[in-house]
Structure 1
Amino acid sequence: MTAVTGLEQAGAVLAAEAARFASFGWMRGTSGNLSVLLSREPFRLAVTAGGHDKGELTAEDVVLVDGRGAAVGGGRPSAEAELHARVARLTGAKAVVHVHTVASVLMGRRQPGGIVLKDLEMLKGIGHPAEGEEVTLPVIANSQDMRVLGDRLEAARDPRMPAVVVAGHGLYVWGDSPRQARHHTEVVEWLLELELAAG
C-alpha cells in the first residue's frame, strides 16, 4: 500500500480497515480505534473519530491530531488519540491499530508478566523465524490516563514485537502502513487465540 497523504484518503483507508476488524468482532459497537500518520514535521496523525460504530465509518469519520493527540482544525478524535500519537512517535510506525479482542483480554489476565511465543510458523508474520527464537508480547496495566498508559507502554515494549496487550482492555499493534498494521494485528491475534486454546 502506498503512503497515505491526505485526510480524506486516510479516512477512506481507516473506514475500510475498521469495517474489516468490526466484521471479525474485534471492534464491537464504538470500541477500538485506528490511526495513520500523514506527516512527521509537523507531526500529523489521522485518527478515527470517537463515538462512532466502527463497522459503519465513512471517509469523513476521521480527525487530524498533533503529536499530543489534540485535534487540529476541529472534530472529536478517539479518547486514545494521545496514545496513538505516542506509539507512532516512539516506534516510528505509520499506522496504529487498537482492537478489543477476547483473546487479548483473557491472555493478559492469564499471563500478566508477558506472553512468551516461540516455535510457531506464524511468528514469521511479525518478522521472526519459525524456530529457534523466543519473543515476549508485553502486557501492561490499563489506565484511563493516556500519559500513564503511554509511559507503561514505553517501559515495557520490546522493539522486536510490534504490539502490546493492555490488561483488561485490548491490543495495540502497529506497522509501517495500514496494511502492515492489519497483518500484524491478525497474526498477533492468531497467536493469542492459539495460546488461549492451548490453556
Structure 2
Amino acid sequence: MTRPSGITLEQIQAAFAELREVKLEFALKGWFPGTSGNLSVRVGSFEPDSFTFAVTASGKDKSKNTPEDFLLVDALGKPTEPTQLKPSAETLIHCEIYKATGCGAIFHVHTVYNNIVSEYDGELGYVPIESVELIKAFNIWEENASIQVPVLPNYAEIPKIAELVAGAIKPRIPGILLRNHGIYAWGANAFEAKRHLEAFEFLFEHRYKYLLLTK
C-alpha cells in the first residue's frame, strides 16, 4: 500500500477498524438506506490545506464488511493511491468540514426524522431546538438552552453545496443538515462524532413528535 508521508500502516488500519465498527452499528439502526450515507476519520497530522482521511467507498452495502469498504483521500478528496474504489460522492463536503473545523471524524446519515425536520424548517435556514436535555451532548450547559442546527439547500451539484459549508458552520453546533437529505455531524474523534450524531437524531425525533402533539 502506498502511504502518504508521515502516516503509518498501523494508523491506516486503526482508522479502517474504527470506521468498520461505527458503520456496522449505524447500519443496525437503519441509518444507511440504499447504500446512502458516508463516514470518515482523519488520519495523521492536520493542516488546513494538507491532511488525509479515511472515507467509505461509494456504492457499498454498509451492513456488510468487505476488504474494499474504505480508502484514503487527501484534502481535495482525491485518493492517495491508484485504486478502483471511488470515494463517496459527498467527500468534498467532508473536506470542507475538516478545513473549517480541524475535527477528527465526520459521520453522515439519512434518516426519516432528519429529512422531515430539515424540510419543515428549511425556509428558516435552521432547525430550532429548545430546552431539551440532549443539547448537553454538545457541551452546552445553560439552563433551558436553545440551538439552531444549520440547514443548507440540497443542490444536485456537490461542489455547489461544498462552497456553502464553511459559512454555515456555527462554532457551538457540531453539525449541519442538507435539506431533505441528511445530517453531517463531527467531533474531535470518532467517539465524539458518534455522540454528537446520536444526540442530533434524538433531537430531530423529539422535534418531529413535539410538533405532532402541538399542531
Q: TM-score range by the shorter chain?
A: over 0.9
Determine the C-alpha separation between the residues in 1 that align with 2:56 and 2:73.
Answer: 10
The equivalences for 1:155-170 within 5 A come to 155-170=167-182
Matching residue of 2:115: 105
2:89 pairs with 1:84: no
2:29 pairs with 1:19: no
Matching residue of 2:3: none
Determine the C-alpha separation between the residues in 2 that align with 1:18 and 1:90.
Answer: 24
> Per-residue displacement from partner, 1:41-94 (whole Å, max 9, x unpaired)?
541010011111111134641111010111110232111111112111111110
The equivalences for 1:75-154 within 5 A come to 75-112=85-122, 113=124, 114-129=126-141, 131-154=143-166
Change in 2 beyond 3 A, CA 1:151/1:56 = same
> Number of aligned pairs?
196
2:66 pairs with 1:70: no
Query: How high is the sequence identity, in percent, across the aligned residues?
Result: 33
Alignment partner of 1:36 out of 26, 41, 53: 41
Q: CA deviation at 1:99?
A: 0.1
> Per-residue displacement from partner, 1:115-153 (whole Å, max 9, x unpaired)?
112211111111112524321001110123232112222
Matching residue of 2:195: 183
Give 5+ residue unaligned stretches, structure 2. Answer: 1-8
Change in 2 beyond 3 A, CA 1:5/1:116 = farther
The normalised TM-score by structure 1 is 0.92
Matching residue of 1:9: 14
Greater Cα radius of gyration, structure 1 or 2:
2
Change in 2 beyond 3 A, CA 1:97/1:129 = same
The normalised TM-score by structure 2 is 0.86
Question: Aligned-pair RMSD on alpha carbons?
Answer: 1.7
Could you list the runs of 4 or more consecutive aligned residues of structure 1 that deviate by over 6 angstroms after TM superposition?
none
The answer (yes or no) to whether the contact 1:12–1:59 under 8 Å persists in 2 is no
Determine the C-alpha separation between the residues in 1 that align with 2:96 and 2:191.
Answer: 20
Alignment partner of 2:206 out of 158, 183, 194: 194
Change in 2 beyond 3 A, CA 1:166/1:143 = same
Determine the C-alpha separation between the residues in 1 that align with 2:66 and 2:99.
Answer: 26
Give 5+ residue unaligned stretches, structure 1. Answer: none
The answer (yes or no) to whether the contact 1:33–1:47 under 8 Å persists in 2 is yes
